[in-house]
Amino acid sequence: MPVIGESREVRGFWLAEAVWVTHSAGVARAVAEWMTDGRPGMDVHECDLYRFEDAQRSPAYVTERGQRNFVEVYDVIHPLQPMEQPRPLRVSPFHVRQRELGGYFLEAAGWERPHWYEANAPLAESVELPPRDAWSARYWSPIAAAEARATRERVALYDMTPLKRLAVSGPGALDFLQRMTTNQLAKKPGAVTYTLLLDETGGIRSDLTVARLSEHHFQVGANGGLDLDWLLRHAPDDVHIADITPGTCCVGVWGPLARELVQPLTHDDFSHEAFGYFKARQTHIGHVPVTAMRLSYVGELGWELYTTADLGLRLWDTLWEAGQRHGVIAAGRSAFNSLRLEKGYRAWGHDMTTEHDPYEAGVGFAVRMNKGDFIGRAALEGRSEETAARRLTCLTLDDPAAVVMGKEPVYADGVPAGYVTSASYGYTVGRTVAYAWLPAAAAVPGTAVHIEYFGEKVPATVVAEPLFDPRMARIRR
């Protein structure tokens, strides 16, 4: 993809590299708009100069990736197909255990991420699934279904280490984060808040979790290097921002038995009353000092546990050993993506981007218009769910054996009306779940639509969301 954007160090110095002739006019247009209007007219985050991780900017990496580019440029690339070299590059402290469990790894931001574990194959024997076409069966395994089920029924460990983590600190930290994001962050230490970064036009730059660990110290769960860049560009002198991702790690302990697993390992009270939903605290799990946050992208009871990289393996082993009597498993990204779609949690960059506002995307609940000024607030004035002309919409495929992958066109009344943003088989609901952008008139539960998949029109229906646990009974207990 192209490389475009303004240097953060040398303001007014722009890069605009179109890799192929086919990119040239679009890149020229995006940069012209960006230079004159302050933002490009369409989402170009996949072209952003600041999308690369440090580990992806060595001369050796650039050479190796650049050479592959010539081989792959006209290939048909599967949406999940990873780069082949240089791998492995970044690994979490749990990597040795993940390999012992037969992890099947795909790459993201240089990280090795397990998508499922062969060790869970015996659990998959009892799972009934419709057969898949050859394309959607690539980079997929029925083991994911077993991992999803074990998460809903027992408890699973998810490696969240690749999640971008920023430490934001200093006397001005609260005021700064209040001005940068949409939700109310002026809460007591120990509070975690789901909030949005918007651009000046109200477009969604990211969705974040912000944990207030002490008065002037916040931990931000972000979506990638672009969030760091955006915050650094706006940070005043009394705010310090550090990317703590590489030196730390995170494991998600999620499932109805998560509390039974974790409570005996800590002297702190992990009951619902003492450690509420969307709360954080610093404690110990066995010998390991951790920051524990009670939230879950898979929609089950549990905690994200953060520690430094040196203690990660010890943390994993402690949880693994304690979890044996509860039937704990390690679970991968494939189950993770299915579970979060059933729960209706958006993935930034797929389901929503700067082209969409919070009301259209269904995350208006994270906007507090009366908390004081923030970037994008003026543009949202007068907008609401009701005024949204299009909606991010939940669909299920009518045929329980049908699948789509994401990015396919959606037809309403026989004409192209939108596109699929994310899709996965929903192992709990027993059919494929797809999110799609649709005109508000079509985004009504019960509406019949078609998704085009390899030239076939696949029938789908708009459904009320979230499909799973709309009353939050599984998380708030």
Burial of 305 (0-12, 13-18, 19+ CB in 10 A): buried
Q: What minimum distance in Å lies between the beta carbon of 193 and ligand THG?
A: 7
Tokens of 263: 């409570």
Considering the complex, state which of residue 103 and residue 221 has its C-beta at the smaller distance from ligand THG: 221
Closest CA to 129 of 146, 142, 140, 116: 142
Q: What minimum distance in Å lies between the beta carbon of 270 and ligand THG?
A: 18
Contact between 197 and ligand THG by CB under 6 A: the answer reads: no
Q: CA–CA separation, 379 vs 342, rounded Å?
A: 31
| Residue 248 DSSP symbol | E
Tell me the residue nearest to ligand THG as measured from the CB.
221
Q: What minimum distance in Å lies between the beta carbon of 462 and ligand THG?
A: 20
Residue matched to tokens 């059919």: 431
Contact between 209 and ligand THG by CB under 6 A: the answer reads: yes
Q: What minimum distance in Å lies between the beta carbon of 211 and ligand THG?
A: 7
Contact between 278 and ligand THG by CB under 6 A: the answer reads: yes
Q: What minimum distance in Å lies between the beta carbon of 129 and ligand THG?
A: 26
Q: For strand 204-214 and strand 192-198, is the pairing parallel, antiparallel, or unpaired?
A: antiparallel
Please answer whether residues 114 and 159 qualify as being in contact, where contact means their C-beta atoms are separated by less than 8 angstroms: yes
Q: CA–CA separation, 360 vs 374, rounded Å?
A: 19
Burial of 475 (0-12, 13-18, 19+ CB in 10 A): buried
Considering the complex, state which of residue 292 and residue 458 has its C-beta at the smaller distance from ligand THG: 292
- Which one of 81-89, 203-211, 228-236, 255-263 is the stretch in contact with ligand THG (CB under 6 A)? 203-211
Q: CA–CA separation, 477 vs 472, rounded Å?
A: 9
**∠ Cα 23 64 310 (to 5°):** 115
| Residue 236 DSSP symbol | -
Considering the complex, state which of residue 280 and residue 328 has its C-beta at the smaller distance from ligand THG: 280
Candidate residues 27, 47, 168, 208; the one interacting with ligand THG per rule CB under 6 A: 208
- Which one of 84-92, 125-133, 206-214, 327-335 is the stretch in contact with ligand THG (CB under 6 A)? 206-214
Q: What minimum distance in Å lies between the beta carbon of 109 and ligand THG?
A: 13
| Residue 147 DSSP symbol | H
Q: What minimum distance in Å lies between the beta carbon of 61 and ligand THG?
A: 25
- Which one of 99-107, 215-223, 392-400, 401-409 is the stretch in contact with ligand THG (CB under 6 A)? 215-223
Cβ neighbours of residue 106 under 8 Å, at least 6 residues apart? 80, 82, 113, 115, 139, 333
| Residue 73 DSSP symbol | T
Candidate residues 158, 176, 297, 453; the one interacting with ligand THG per rule CB under 6 A: 297
- Which one of 71-79, 134-142, 205-213, 438-446 is the stretch in contact with ligand THG (CB under 6 A)? 205-213
Please answer whether residues 219 and 270 qualify as being in contact, where contact means their C-beta atoms are separated by less than 8 angstroms: no
Q: CA–CA separation, 313 vs 92, rounded Å?
A: 9
* Annotation: binding site: 304
Q: What minimum distance in Å lies between the beta carbon of 341 and ligand THG?
A: 12
Candidate residues 56, 81, 184, 223; the one interacting with ligand THG per rule CB under 6 A: 223
Q: Which residues pair with 159 in a beta bridge?
A: 251
Candidate residues 5, 202, 221, 364; the one interacting with ligand THG per rule CB under 6 A: 221
Contact between 419 and ligand THG by CB under 6 A: the answer reads: no
Q: Which residues bind ligand THG (CB under 6 A)?
A: 163, 194, 207-209, 221-223, 278, 293, 295, 297, 304, 345
